[in-house]
Amino acid sequence: MKTDIYRTCPIIENSNFLLRRTTLNDKEDLLKVYSDKMSVPFFNSDNCDGDDFFYDTLSRMEKAINYWNEEYKLNGFVRFSILNKKNNEAIGTFEIFKRVSKVDKFNNFLILRLDLRSDFEKSQIVLELLKIIIEPLVKIFACSKIASKVIPENTERRKAFQNYGFIQSYSPLIGDNDQKYFNYFVLPTN
Protein backbone atom coordinates (compact mmCIF):
# COMPACT_ATOMS: atom_id res chain seq x y z
CA MET A 1 0.00 0.00 0.00
CA LYS A 2 1.38 3.38 -1.04
CA THR A 3 1.64 6.01 1.69
CA ASP A 4 1.48 9.75 1.04
CA ILE A 5 4.76 10.77 2.65
CA TYR A 6 3.66 14.41 2.59
CA ARG A 7 0.66 13.66 4.83
CA THR A 8 2.20 11.06 7.12
CA CYS A 9 5.96 10.95 7.31
CA PRO A 10 7.16 7.53 8.47
CA ILE A 11 9.71 6.75 11.13
CA ILE A 12 12.29 4.28 9.84
CA GLU A 13 14.67 2.48 12.16
CA ASN A 14 16.91 -0.43 12.91
CA SER A 15 18.82 -1.32 16.07
CA ASN A 16 21.37 1.50 15.60
CA PHE A 17 19.57 4.39 13.89
CA LEU A 18 16.19 6.10 13.94
CA LEU A 19 15.22 8.21 10.91
CA ARG A 20 12.40 10.71 11.25
CA ARG A 21 11.42 14.06 9.80
CA THR A 22 13.76 16.87 10.85
CA THR A 23 12.48 19.28 13.49
CA LEU A 24 13.81 22.45 15.09
CA ASN A 25 14.69 20.36 18.14
CA ASP A 26 17.52 18.89 16.04
CA LYS A 27 19.22 22.24 15.39
CA GLU A 28 22.03 21.97 17.96
CA ASP A 29 23.02 18.45 16.86
CA LEU A 30 22.71 19.34 13.17
CA LEU A 31 24.84 22.44 13.64
CA LYS A 32 27.69 20.01 14.45
CA VAL A 33 27.04 18.32 11.10
CA TYR A 34 26.64 21.41 8.93
CA SER A 35 29.58 23.27 10.51
CA ASP A 36 31.86 20.22 10.12
CA LYS A 37 34.40 21.43 7.54
CA MET A 38 35.42 17.85 6.77
CA SER A 39 31.82 16.90 5.88
CA VAL A 40 30.55 19.89 3.95
CA PRO A 41 32.49 19.12 0.72
CA PHE A 42 30.61 15.79 0.52
CA PHE A 43 27.13 17.37 0.66
CA ASN A 44 25.12 17.58 -2.53
CA SER A 45 24.28 21.23 -3.17
CA ASP A 46 23.45 20.73 -6.85
CA ASN A 47 20.66 23.01 -8.01
CA CYS A 48 20.34 24.62 -4.56
CA ASP A 49 20.67 28.27 -5.63
CA GLY A 50 24.25 28.61 -4.37
CA ASP A 51 23.68 27.19 -0.86
CA ASP A 52 26.85 25.31 0.13
CA PHE A 53 25.26 23.85 3.31
CA PHE A 54 27.94 25.27 5.60
CA TYR A 55 26.04 26.65 8.59
CA ASP A 56 28.06 27.96 11.51
CA THR A 57 25.38 29.58 13.69
CA LEU A 58 22.26 28.25 15.36
CA SER A 59 20.17 30.91 13.64
CA ARG A 60 21.44 29.82 10.20
CA MET A 61 20.77 26.18 11.07
CA GLU A 62 17.27 27.09 12.25
CA LYS A 63 16.63 29.00 9.02
CA ALA A 64 17.65 25.92 6.98
CA ILE A 65 15.37 23.62 9.01
CA ASN A 66 12.48 26.04 8.61
CA TYR A 67 13.06 26.05 4.85
CA TRP A 68 13.19 22.24 4.74
CA ASN A 69 9.91 22.06 6.63
CA GLU A 70 8.29 24.59 4.29
CA GLU A 71 9.36 22.48 1.30
CA TYR A 72 7.79 19.46 3.00
CA LYS A 73 4.47 21.32 3.32
CA LEU A 74 4.70 22.19 -0.40
CA ASN A 75 5.40 18.52 -1.33
CA GLY A 76 8.87 19.53 -2.55
CA PHE A 77 11.05 17.14 -0.57
CA VAL A 78 11.33 15.38 2.77
CA ARG A 79 14.33 15.92 5.04
CA PHE A 80 14.90 13.23 7.67
CA SER A 81 17.20 13.48 10.67
CA ILE A 82 19.39 10.46 11.32
CA LEU A 83 19.54 9.78 15.05
CA ASN A 84 22.17 7.57 16.63
CA LYS A 85 20.23 5.40 19.09
CA LYS A 86 23.23 5.16 21.43
CA ASN A 87 22.77 8.76 22.56
CA ASN A 88 19.71 10.02 20.62
CA GLU A 89 21.94 12.52 18.81
CA ALA A 90 21.26 13.62 15.23
CA ILE A 91 24.40 12.71 13.28
CA GLY A 92 23.15 13.79 9.86
CA THR A 93 20.19 14.11 7.56
CA PHE A 94 18.95 12.73 4.30
CA GLU A 95 16.62 14.31 1.80
CA ILE A 96 14.47 12.48 -0.71
CA PHE A 97 12.25 13.68 -3.54
CA LYS A 98 10.94 12.45 -6.85
CA ARG A 99 12.48 14.42 -9.72
CA VAL A 100 10.60 15.29 -12.86
CA SER A 101 12.77 16.32 -15.81
CA LYS A 102 12.30 16.61 -19.53
CA VAL A 103 15.97 17.33 -20.24
CA ASP A 104 17.97 14.41 -18.86
CA LYS A 105 17.83 10.71 -17.98
CA PHE A 106 16.97 11.42 -14.33
CA ASN A 107 13.25 11.82 -15.01
CA ASN A 108 11.09 10.10 -12.39
CA PHE A 109 14.13 9.26 -10.28
CA LEU A 110 14.18 9.52 -6.52
CA ILE A 111 17.06 11.82 -5.65
CA LEU A 112 18.72 10.96 -2.35
CA ARG A 113 20.91 13.55 -0.61
CA LEU A 114 22.84 12.19 2.37
CA ASP A 115 24.63 14.54 4.79
CA LEU A 116 26.64 12.94 7.60
CA ARG A 117 28.97 14.25 10.27
CA SER A 118 32.53 13.27 9.30
CA ASP A 119 33.00 10.76 12.13
CA PHE A 120 30.05 8.77 10.71
CA GLU A 121 31.21 8.92 7.07
CA LYS A 122 32.34 5.29 7.14
CA SER A 123 31.43 2.76 4.46
CA GLN A 124 29.82 0.29 6.89
CA ILE A 125 27.64 3.04 8.41
CA VAL A 126 26.62 4.44 5.02
CA LEU A 127 25.78 0.92 3.80
CA GLU A 128 23.71 0.26 6.92
CA LEU A 129 21.80 3.51 6.34
CA LEU A 130 21.16 2.65 2.68
CA LYS A 131 19.77 -0.72 3.78
CA ILE A 132 17.19 0.93 6.00
CA ILE A 133 16.41 3.91 3.73
CA ILE A 134 16.02 2.49 0.22
CA GLU A 135 13.39 -0.23 0.50
CA PRO A 136 10.71 1.73 2.40
CA LEU A 137 11.14 4.84 0.24
CA VAL A 138 10.92 2.85 -3.00
CA LYS A 139 7.56 1.54 -1.76
CA ILE A 140 6.31 4.91 -0.50
CA PHE A 141 7.18 6.76 -3.70
CA ALA A 142 6.34 3.78 -5.94
CA CYS A 143 9.58 4.40 -7.81
CA SER A 144 12.54 2.05 -8.16
CA LYS A 145 14.85 4.51 -9.91
CA ILE A 146 17.20 6.18 -7.40
CA ALA A 147 20.20 8.46 -7.86
CA SER A 148 22.58 10.03 -5.37
CA LYS A 149 25.68 12.17 -5.76
CA VAL A 150 28.95 10.63 -4.61
CA ILE A 151 32.01 12.74 -5.31
CA PRO A 152 35.24 10.88 -6.21
CA GLU A 153 37.05 12.05 -3.05
CA ASN A 154 34.48 10.34 -0.84
CA THR A 155 35.89 6.84 -1.07
CA GLU A 156 34.00 5.55 1.98
CA ARG A 157 30.62 6.53 0.55
CA ARG A 158 31.55 5.29 -2.92
CA LYS A 159 32.42 1.87 -1.50
CA ALA A 160 29.09 1.68 0.39
CA PHE A 161 27.01 2.71 -2.62
CA GLN A 162 28.79 0.20 -4.85
CA ASN A 163 28.33 -2.56 -2.26
CA TYR A 164 24.61 -1.79 -2.20
CA GLY A 165 24.45 -2.12 -6.00
CA PHE A 166 24.59 1.48 -7.23
CA ILE A 167 26.61 2.11 -10.38
CA GLN A 168 28.20 5.32 -11.53
CA SER A 169 26.32 7.25 -14.20
CA TYR A 170 28.35 9.24 -16.69
CA SER A 171 25.30 11.24 -17.78
CA PRO A 172 24.91 14.63 -16.15
CA LEU A 173 21.91 15.72 -14.19
CA ILE A 174 20.73 18.95 -15.86
CA GLY A 175 19.66 21.60 -13.39
CA ASP A 176 18.26 25.07 -13.61
CA ASN A 177 19.79 27.31 -16.28
CA ASP A 178 21.03 24.13 -18.04
CA GLN A 179 23.78 23.66 -15.43
CA LYS A 180 25.31 20.15 -15.67
CA TYR A 181 25.99 18.18 -12.50
CA PHE A 182 28.11 15.03 -12.45
CA ASN A 183 29.14 12.24 -10.05
CA TYR A 184 25.75 10.58 -9.67
CA PHE A 185 25.37 6.92 -8.82
CA VAL A 186 22.18 5.14 -9.80
CA LEU A 187 20.51 2.02 -8.53
CA PRO A 188 19.63 -0.17 -11.50
CA THR A 189 15.89 -0.59 -11.92
CA ASN A 190 14.13 -3.91 -11.69
Please report which confidence band the pLDDT of residue 52 belongs to, taking 50, 70 and 90 as the band edges.
very high
Task: Report the percent of the chain where pLDDT is more than 70.
Answer: 97
pLDDT at 1: 41
DSSP 14-43: -SSEEEEE--GGGHHHHHHHHT-TTTGGGS
Least confident segment among 32-36, 65-69, 85-89, 174-178: 174-178
More confident residue, 50 or 16: 16
Beta bridge partners of 112: 96, 148
CA distances (Å), 43 to each of 11, 39, 115, 125, 140, in order?
23, 7, 6, 16, 24
Q: In this model, does residue 2 exceed pLDDT 60?
A: no
Task: Report the percent of the chain where pLDDT is more than 90.
Answer: 91
CB 35 within 8 A of CB 56: yes
User: 3-class DSSP state for residue 46?
Assistant: coil
Q: In this model, does residue 135 exceed pLDDT 50?
A: yes
Residue ranges of domains in the chain, CATH in brackets: 12-187 (3.40.630.30)
Model-level pTM?
Answer: 0.95
